[in-house]
Amino acid sequence: MHEQQRQRESLLRYETGKSSSSSSNQQQEVLSNQIRSAEAGVRGDQLVDKMMNVEPDTNLIKVKKVNELRPGTNGFSITVKLVDCKIIKNATSRAVGGSRHGYGRGHGDQSPTAECLVGDETAMVVLTAMDKQGDLFKDLKPGTTIILHNATVELFQWSMRLLVDEREPNDGRIEISTRPASFSVKEDNNMSLIEWEELNLFEW
């Protein structure tokens, strides 16, 4: 009787140890899987970070506000409203004074030109529209919303001018929007009244 009891207790200890060992192995396997998953997650995050840290696409069009414009700023999109516009017949197109992205620069082209004051909620600036662009502005009324695509900023007599060069490879575009912008033009801040001297350009 006592011998049978001892055998049962030995068998129970064996089964318990076996079960405990099996449970421990299962726990170790689960833990290993969790570690592998965590490591894979880290590698995945590193891969995402690497993918996110690619060089920026320089072809992406940036959206600007008028008060952010500086001489030489180019390749941006901007939404403005027309404040005033003057059509100049047979004006000579010649950008001077630190121009880096000339529109008709140095050619003395005889073209109908529109000198328009445009702006957004941050400031105003003079927009120079040439050739067919000048014709586009003839019948526009103040308050008309205009979207400039792939625009550039030049200096004319050391004063900033907003331009849209539609010629290749610039392929700029002027869009007359059918949906009026909600902002009111800030008319007490005219960026074209700032005189940019050579020193200003180097400091900027």
Contact criterion met (CB below 8 Å) for 194 and 94: no
Of the pLDDT bands very low, low, confident and very high (cuts 50, 70, 90), residue 2 is: low
Q: How deeply is 136 buried, as exposed, middle or buried, from its count of CB atoms within 10 A (0-12, 13-18, 19+)? A: middle
The pLDDT score that the predictor gives to residue 67 is: 95
The CA-atom distances, in angstroms, between 191 and each of 72, 169, 172, 187, 201 are: 14, 27, 22, 10, 15
Contact criterion met (CB below 8 Å) for 185 and 117: no
Q: Torsions phi, psi of 42, nearest 5?
A: -60, -45
Q: Sketch the domain layout of the chain as residue ranges.
A: 1-54, 62-203
What distance in Å separates the CA atoms of residue 204 and residue 202, rounded to the nearest whole number? 5
Whether the model pTM is above 0.85:
no
Residue of 45 and 139 predicted with greater confidence: 139
The pLDDT score that the predictor gives to residue 170 is: 66
**Regarding the domain delimited by 62-203, which CATH topology (the fold level of the hierarchy) does it fall under?**
OB fold (Dihydrolipoamide Acetyltransferase, E2P) (2.40.50)
What distance in Å separates the CA atoms of residue 110 and residue 112, rounded to the nearest whole number? 7
